[in-house]
C-alpha cells in the first residue's frame, strides 16, 4: 500500500531522469547567475564605481551614490516578482525562466561595456542605473521561478533534496563572484583595475549566460503546470476553463464537468458509510481563505533573510571596524562557512524529506535562538579561531540550513494556480523587510548601546518569527503540487 505522503498523483505528467537533470542544472545555474551578478555589482560598487561613474564628488558622496545604484535593484526585484510571477502562473514556468535569465545576463554583460563618466559625462551613471533596474527586474522572479520549477519537477520522496539545489546556487554564485574579484585585486594595479580590469567579470558572465539560455531553450515545461492545464483531481479541463471556474465565471461546459465530478465522488468514512460529497480541488480553490499561506511563508522567510543580513553583511563590517580585526578574517569565515554549506544544504534537504519540513524548521530555529548569544561571545573573543567557528556555525544553522528548507516548504505551501506569484512576493518582501533593513537597524542599535548584544537579540527575534510560523504552518511534505488551493 502506497504512502499518501509520498505517492505520485495517478494522472501526473511524467518526466525522464534526463529531463529532471536538465531542470536541476538549469535551476542551480540560474540562481548561481543571479547571485553572481548581484555580488559582482555590489563589489564593483564598493571598490570602483564611485571613482569611474561618480568622480566629480567627494569620495564619501561617490560611495553613497554607487551604493544607491546598488539599492535600486531591490526595488526593481519587487516589480519583477509581481510581473513575472503572474506571467509564470498564467503562461508557464519555462517561458518566464527563459526571459529572466536573458534579462539578467544581458544587463550584466552590458555593464561591462558601459562608457565611464570621463567619456560621456552624466549619461554614464544614468545608463548604469538603467541596467541595474533591468538586472533587478529579471532577478526578482529568477530564484522564485527556479524554486517552483525544481519543486514541481522533483519526485516526491526527494523533493527537498532536489529543491535544495537552488540554495547551492546562491553559494556557487557568491563564491564565484568573490573569487573573480579576489583574483583581480591580487593581480592588477589600481590603474589597471580602474582602466579596464573592472570590466572583465561582467564580460565573462556573457559565456555563462549563453550556456544558461541554451539550457533553458531545451527545458521542458514543469509537469505540474502541464498537469494543471489537463486534469485536476480527475476533472479534465483546459487552462481557460480552470481560470473561469476559479474567477467565478465558468461557462456551461465547465459547470457540467464540475457537476459530474461532484455527483460521482462520495467521501467514505472509516466505517464504510458514505459521508457528504467530497469537495473537488477546483471547488477548494474557489473557497480557500486567501492570504494565510502567504503570511506563513513570509514568516518562514524572515528568519533566513534576517539572519543572512546580519551574519553575511553586517557582521563582516562590524568585526572589521568595531572589533578592529583584519578585514580578511570575517570574509574568510564567510568563505569557509559557504564551503561547508555545500554539505549542509543537501543534508538538511534529505532530513526534511525524511522527517518533514515542520520538525526541521522548528529544530533549526530553536538551535539558532540557543546559539545566538554564544555565537556573539565567540565572535567578540580575542581568538581568530573562535570568531571563525562562531560565524561558520551561525551561517550554516541560521542561514543556509533554513534556506535549504525554504526552497521546498514555501513552494509546497502554495497552490499551483498562484504558486509562482506568491512565492516570488514572499521572498522579495521578506528580503526587503529583513535583509535590507536589518543591517541598518543593527548598526543603529550597536552604536546607541555600544555593545554587541543587540545583534544576538535580533537573531533571536528573527528566528522566533520563523519558529512561530513553523508551529502554525501545516506539514507539507509530500503534498500534491497540482492542487490549485493553498495548503491552508
**Together in a domain, 212 and 239:** no
The DSSP result for 266-279, as a single string, is EEE-TTS-EEEEPP
In a 10 Å sphere around its CB, with 0-12 CB exposed, 13-18 middle and 19+ buried, how is residue 421 labelled? buried
Answer whether 304's CB lies under 8 Å from 147's CB: no
- pLDDT given at position 20: 80
Q: Is 477 contained in some domain?
A: no
In this structure, the answer to whether residues 21 and 155 fall within a common structural domain is yes
* Same-domain check for residues 306 and 328: yes
Strand partners, 111: none
| β-bridge pairing 274-277 and 266-268 | antiparallel
What confidence score (pLDDT) does residue 60 get?
Answer: 56
pLDDT at res. 263: 43
433 in the same domain as 312? yes
Distance between CA atoms of residues 295 and 218, nearest Å: 35
Tell me the C-alpha to C-alpha distance, in Å, between residue 289 and each of 106, 278, 404, 485.
40, 18, 27, 9
Output the pLDDT for position 67.
Answer: 53
Dist. CA 142–CA 131, nearest whole Å:
17
**Domain co-membership, 195 together with 269:** no
Nearest C-alpha neighbor of 336 from the set 197, 207, 89, 171: 171
Show the domain range for 261. Answer: 234-279
**pLDDT at 281 (0 to 100):** 44
Q: In whole angstroms, what is the distance from residue 360 CA to residue 406 CA?
A: 11
Name the 3-class secondary structure at 58: coil
Does some domain include residue 369? yes
Cell digits of residue 426: 514572499
128 and 162 share one domain: yes
Angle at CA of residue 372, ends 367 and 375, nearest 5°: 110
Cα(61)–Cα(69) distance, rounded to whole angstroms?
A: 13
pLDDT tens digit at each of 488 positions of the chain: 334 344 444 444 566 777 788 888 888 888 888 778 777 776 777 677 777 877 765 565 555 555 565 566 677 888 999 999 989 888 888 888 889 888 988 988 999 999 988 888 888 888 888 888 888 888 888 888 888 988 988 889 999 999 988 888 888 887 888 788 878 878 888 888 888 888 998 898 888 888 888 888 878 888 888 876 544 444 445 555 555 555 555 555 555 555 544 444 444 444 444 444 434 444 444 445 567 999 999 999 999 999 988 888 788 778 877 888 776 788 788 889 989 999 999 999 999 999 999 999 999 999 999 999 999 999 999 899 999 999 999 999 999 999 999 989 999 999 888 899 999 999 989 888 888 788 888 888 888 999 999 999 999 999 999 999 999 999 999 998 988 888 98
Residue 280 has a pLDDT of: 47
Let me know whether 304 and 377 are in one domain.
yes
27: which 3 cell numbers? 535551476
Alpha helical stretches, state H, 309-418 = 315-321, 328-355, 357-379, 384-395, 401-413
Is 178 within the bounds of a domain? yes
Question: Per the confidence metrics, is the pTM higher than 0.85?
Answer: no
What are the backbone dihedrals phi and psi of residue 267, each rounded to the nearest 5 degrees, phi first? -85, 140
Q: Given this model, what pLDDT does residue 409 score? A: 94
CA dihedral 137, 430, 213, 215 (to 10 degrees): -170
User: Crossing angle of helices 123-153/401-413, nearest 10°?
Assistant: 70
Q: Please report whether residue 9 resides in a domain.
A: no
- Please check whether residues 321 and 420 belong to one and the same domain: yes
* Nearest Cα residue to 96 out of 38, 145, 57: 145
Write out the H or E segment, with its range, that includes residue 268.
strand 266-268
Q: Who's near 40: CB < 8 A, 6+ residues apart?
A: 108, 177, 180, 181, 201, 202, 205
**What count of residues does the chain have?**
488
Does residue 307 share a domain with residue 267?
Answer: no
Cell numbers given for 306:
534576517
What is the per-residue pLDDT for 271?
44
Q: DSSP string of 303-321?
A: HHHHHHIIIIIIHHHHHHH
In a domain, 486, yes or no: no
- pLDDT, residue 65, reads 58
Q: Which of 434, 342, 333 is nearest to 378 (CA)?
A: 333
Residue with cell string 544553522: 397
Pair (445, 296) in one structural domain: yes
pLDDT at 395: 93
Q: How many domains does the chain have?
A: 3
Angle, CA of 131, 184 and 62, to the nearest 5°: 50
Say if 66 falls within a structural domain. yes
- Classify burial at 273, counting beta carbons within 10 Å of its beta carbon; exposed 0-12, middle 13-18, buried 19 or more: exposed
The reply to whether 349 and 430 lie within a common domain is yes
> What's the CATH code of the domain at 321?
1.20.1250.20
287 found inside a domain: no
Tell me if 197 is assigned to some domain. yes
* Together in a domain, 407 and 308: yes
CA distances from 343 to 143, 164, 311, 338, 458 (A): 21, 11, 19, 9, 27
Amino acid at each position: 500500500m502506497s504512502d499518501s505522503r509520498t505517492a505520485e498523483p495517478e494522472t501526473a505528467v511524467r518526466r525522464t531522469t534526463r529531463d529532471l537533470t536538465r531542470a536541476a542544472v538549469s535551476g542551480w545555474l540560474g540562481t548561481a547567475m543571479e547571485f553572481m551578478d548581484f555580488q559582482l555589482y555590489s563589489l564593483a560598487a564598493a571598490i570602483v564605481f564611485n571613482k569611474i561613474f561618480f568622480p566629480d564628488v567627494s569620495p564619501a558622496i561617490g560611495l553613497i551614490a554607487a551604493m544607491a545604484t546598488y539599492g535600486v535593484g531591490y526595488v526593481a526585484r519587487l516589480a519583477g516578482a509581481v510581473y513575472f510571477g503572474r506571467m509564470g502562473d498564467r503562461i508557464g514556468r519555462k517561458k518566464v525562466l527563459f526571459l529572466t535569465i536573458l534579462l539578467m545576463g544581458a544587463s550584466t554583460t552590458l555593464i561591462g561595456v558601459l562608457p565611464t563618466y570621463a567619456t560621456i559625462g552624466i549619461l554614464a551613471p544614468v545608463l548604469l542605473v538603467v541596467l541595474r533596474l533591468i538586472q533587478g527586474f529579471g532577478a526578482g522572479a529568477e530564484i522564485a521561478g527556479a524554486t517552483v520549477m525544481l519543486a514541481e519537477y522533483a519526485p516526491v520522496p526527494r523533493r527537498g533534496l532536489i529543491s535544495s539545489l537552488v540554495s547551492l546556487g546562491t553559494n556557487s554564485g557568491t563564491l564565484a563572484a568573490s573569487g573573480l574579484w579576489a583574483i583581480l585585486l591580487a593581480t592588477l594595479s589600481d590603474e589597471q583595475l580602474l582602466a579596464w580590469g573592472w570590466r572583465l567579470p561582467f564580460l565573462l558572465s556573457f559565456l555563462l549566460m549563453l550556456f544558461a539560455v541554451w539550457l533553458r531553450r531545451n527545458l521542458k515545461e514543469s509537469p505540474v503546470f502541464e498537469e494543471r492545464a489537463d486534469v485536476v483531481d480527475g476533472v479534465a479541463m483546459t487552462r481557460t476553463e480552470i481560470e473561469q471556474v476559479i474567477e467565478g465565471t465558468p461557462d456551461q461546459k465547465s459547470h457540467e464537468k464540475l457537476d459530474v465530478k461532484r455527483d460521482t465522488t462520495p467521501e467514505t468514512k472509516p466505517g464504510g458509510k458514505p459521508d457528504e460529497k467530497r469537495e473537488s480541488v477546483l471547488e477548494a480553490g474557489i473557497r480557500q481563505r486567501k492570504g494565510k499561506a502567504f503570511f506563513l511563508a513570509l514568516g518562514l522567510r524572515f528568519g533566513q533573510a534576517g539572519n543572512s543580513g546580519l551574519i553575511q553583511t553586517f557582521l563582516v563590517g562590524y568585526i572589521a571596524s568595531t572589533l578592529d580585526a583584519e578585514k580578511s578574517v570575517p570574509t574568510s569565515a564567510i568563505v569557509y562557512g559557504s564551503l561547508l554549506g555545500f554539505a549542509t544544504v543537501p543534508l538538511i534537504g534529505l532530513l526534511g524529506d525524511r522527517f518533514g519540513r515542520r520538525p526541521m524548521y522548528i529544530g533549526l530555529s530553536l538551535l539558532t535562538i540557543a546559539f545566538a548569544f554564544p555565537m556573539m561571545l565567540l565572535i567578540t573573543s580575542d581568538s581568530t579561531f573562535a570568531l571563525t567557528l562562531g560565524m561558520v556555525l551561525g551561517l550554516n544553522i541560521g542561514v543556509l540550513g533554513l534556506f535549504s528548507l525554504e526552497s521546498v516548504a514555501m513552494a509546497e505551501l502554495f497552490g499551483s494556480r498562484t504558486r509562482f506569484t506568491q512565492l516570488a512576493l514572499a521572498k522579495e518582501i521578506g528580503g526587503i523587510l529583513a535583509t535590507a533593513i536589518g543591517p541598518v537597524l543593527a548598526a543603529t542599535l550597536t552604536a546607541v548601546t555600544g555593545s554587541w548584544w543587540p545583534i544576538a537579540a535580533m537573531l533571536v527575534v528573527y528566528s522566533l518569527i520563523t519558529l512561530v510560523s513553523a508551529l502554525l504552518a501545516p506539514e507539507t511534505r509530500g503534498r500534491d503540487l497540482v492542487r490549485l488551493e493553498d495548503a491552508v
